[in-house]
Amino acid sequence: MNVNPTIGQHKEGASGATFAVVLALSLCHFLNDVMQSLLAAIYPMLKVNYDLTFAQIGLLTFAFQVTASLLQPAIGAYADKRPLTYSLPVGMTFTFCGLFLLAWASHYWMLVFGACLVGMGSAVFHPESSRVARLASGGRHGTAQALFQVGGNVGSAIGPLLAAFIVVPAGQASVAWFSVAALAGMIVLTRVSHWYGAHRRAAAKRISAPEVSPFARRTVVFTLAVLVMLIFSKYVYMASMVSYFTFYLIHKFGLSVQAAQIHLFLFLGAVAFGTLIGGPIGDRIGTKRVIWVSILGVLPFTLALPYADLTWTTVLSMVIGMVLASAFPAIIVFAQELLPGRVGFVAGIFFGLAFGLSGISAAVLGQVADWKGIEYVYSICSFLPAIGLLTVLLPDIRRRAN
């Protein structure tokens, strides 16, 4: 299939060979996020081993997320002009090194540095892998983006489960065992990079007209600002769940660490399912409608969660995860259609925002939890999806394209 890296509007279906690239990237996203999710999953263990406060736990998340968020937009923008063909296995190498530091850290600041290395791995991996997934999509951008992202979501869901049944019984040093996943990812990504390089060489032989946004610059800037606010509402709430849901369950319902990790797994599994269905639905009915339902539609459930018993907390958390997760593929595709030819920059910005907002909000919410209690965090976060009302301000890209 012939696709220029700056062109995103081709109508051909993806061939089996090129869509296999999307599946390979989804597998590597799975491996990448299994390793990354171990950090949050072992927070209860680290809290005991290093006598940490909630604020220090929040700083660990901050170190990981902000490192990723600061580097991703820069890497994405640079790669739009000079694609980094073999950057994908290099990014996995950073994660590999971070795991060893997290496994063998002798004091708290080694944990922070290990978290930063894992963040650097994400900063390299996400913009370029998102670009390659779009190139291999054959025009089914939402589906490809969803398949790519669902690998990460499943990895994030499996990570806490692996932590509960492997790391918690075996101890912190067992985190190093997961370096095998990093090695596997490096091998697969090297093969993907071969395909990417061949694709770029073939595309360089053709002359393609540069794509231009169908909207005026002012509209583009305003729309991006609205999308940023929607990302804010989603990822602050997600940070409260990923970083502190286990502590909430332990505090409010007296669950063990392993039982709380299983509940976190159920939430993250629902997130993976929501991501998977969000992309194809967006391709069929339009990304704006998916964003409407995903962010604003979850509000009744988030408002009910702080007042639910354990059974309903489990049910509500899964509904919240599934509905809220479907927004991110739609937002990425919406922004990429808004700025054609800037695929890496858009992916870097929005993945970077996701990481950065998660990190900053985790640190802030940790301070709030120390100050007012963990239940208070979920009371104030329950109102965040109301920001989804801003979706009404988004332009209709599908109608404009027609």
Element (H, E) at 367: helix 343-372
Q: What is the mean predicted confidence (pLDDT) over 381-389?
A: 88
Tokens of 247: 């502590």
Task: Report the C-alpha gap between 211 and 201 in whole angstroms.
Answer: 20
Q: What is the pLDDT of residues 10-20, one digit of tens each?
A: 334 445 557 78
Residue 359 has pLDDT above 70, yes or no: no
Task: Report the C-alpha gap between 60 and 288 in whole angstroms.
Answer: 34
Instruction: Write the CA distances from 266 to 32, 175, 282, 317, integer angstroms.
Output: 19, 22, 24, 8
What is the structure's pLDDT at 319?
93
Q: Please tell me whether the overall predicted TM-score, pTM, comes out greater than 0.85 for this model.
A: no
Task: Report the C-alpha gap between 25 and 149 in whole angstroms.
Answer: 9
Query: Residue 49 CB: number of other CB atoms within 10 A?
Result: 14
Is 9 inside any structural domain? no
Is 309 inside any structural domain? yes
Is 10 inside any structural domain? no
What is the structure's pLDDT at 212?
60
Task: Please count the residues of the chain.
Answer: 402
Q: What is the pLDDT of residues 195-216, one digit of tens each?
A: 888 877 776 666 554 556 667 7
Helices of type H across 136-216: 141-162, 168-170, 179-204
What is the structure's pLDDT at 205?
65
- Tell me the average pLDDT of the chain: 80
Task: Report the C-alpha gap between 76 and 348 in whole angstroms.
Answer: 5
Task: Report the C-alpha gap between 207 and 31 in whole angstroms.
Answer: 37
Q: What is the mean predicted confidence (pLDDT) over 261-268?
A: 86
Is 7 inside any structural domain? no
Q: What residues have CB less than 8 Å from 344, skipping those under 6 apart? A: 75, 76, 77, 78, 79, 80, 83, 127, 128, 130, 131
Is 243 inside any structural domain? yes
Is 225 inside any structural domain? yes
Residue 401 has pLDDT above 60, yes or no: no
Residue 311: pLDDT band (50, 70, 90) is very high
What is the structure's pLDDT at 254?
92
Q: What is the DSSP letter of 165?
A: I
**Which CATH number belongs to the domain containing residue 274 in this structure?**
1.20.1250.20
Instruction: Write the CA distances from 260 to 76, 157, 251, 382, integer angstroms.
Output: 37, 13, 10, 20
The domain of 297 spans 16-205+215-401
Q: How many domains does the chain have?
A: 1
Is 6 inside any structural domain? no
Residue 383: pLDDT band (50, 70, 90) is very high
Is 98 inside any structural domain? yes
Q: What is the pLDDT of residues 45-62, one digit of tens each?
A: 888 888 888 888 888 878
What is the structure's pLDDT at 296?
78
